[in-house]
Amino acid sequence: MLFVDPFNIVRADIDEQVRLLARGDGELQAALSAEASATATGLAEKLGDDCDDVLVLLVEVEQALEIAAATPHRFNILPEELQARQAWFSATRDAVRRTAEHVAPHRPLVRPRLQSWPQRVATAIFIPPAPSPYSAAPEPCCKTSIMIAIDWLKARLRHAWGE
């Protein structure tokens, strides 16, 4: 079985993504010069997201390179190969950052995602204190919908049992 270095697979994938980013940046510049604002905004949003994704991948590659640099004998990497990989990493990261800088002024503002909005978990109903002898609570208390359902169930059971 032939051994394929995982770095070369990741490198080929990232190189393809960087090539697509460069092509997209050219399309964005053409849309901006043609004053097609809707097209430019859509392209800028997609390019910005793609740049963010590639930069995240590059952070992972950087961490892997740091580990390989710390113990090159473990990964059977020659110092020249390690330097070549680090040079590729630096050049690629710089190219992606340049593209991100070109895109940034045309990128739409970040919209809040639906998942980040607070979600209602339970409904609370404020109940005034009952007059004595039922309650000695001086302030209104708060019953959640679950507590109300339990109280309702208890009342139904008492009624069914004839209490």
Domain boundaries, the chain: 6-110, 124-161
For the segment 117-122, the average pLDDT, to the nearest whole number, is 49
Question: Helices 79-103 and 37-70 sit at what angle, rounded to 10 degrees?
Answer: 160
123 has a pLDDT exceeding 70: no
Which residue stretches of 34-141 are H helix?
37-70, 72-75, 79-103
Residue 141 pLDDT:
54
Give the highest mean pLDDT range of 21-35, 45-59, 122-136: 45-59
- What average pLDDT is seen over the chain? 79
For the segment 115-121, the average pLDDT, to the nearest whole number, is 50
Give this prediction's pTM. 0.63
For the segment 135-157, the average pLDDT, to the nearest whole number, is 60
144 has a pLDDT exceeding 90: no
CATH number assigned to the domain with residue range 6-110, chosen from the 4 options 3.40.50.670, 3.40.50.850, 1.20.58.90, 1.10.10.10:
1.20.58.90
Distance, CA of 107 to CA of 100 (rounded, Å): 10
Task: For residue 66, give Cα distances in angstroms to 56, 59, 79, 86, 88.
Answer: 16, 11, 13, 9, 14
Residue 126 pLDDT:
54
Residue 34 pLDDT:
82
For the segment 77-87, the average pLDDT, to the nearest whole number, is 94
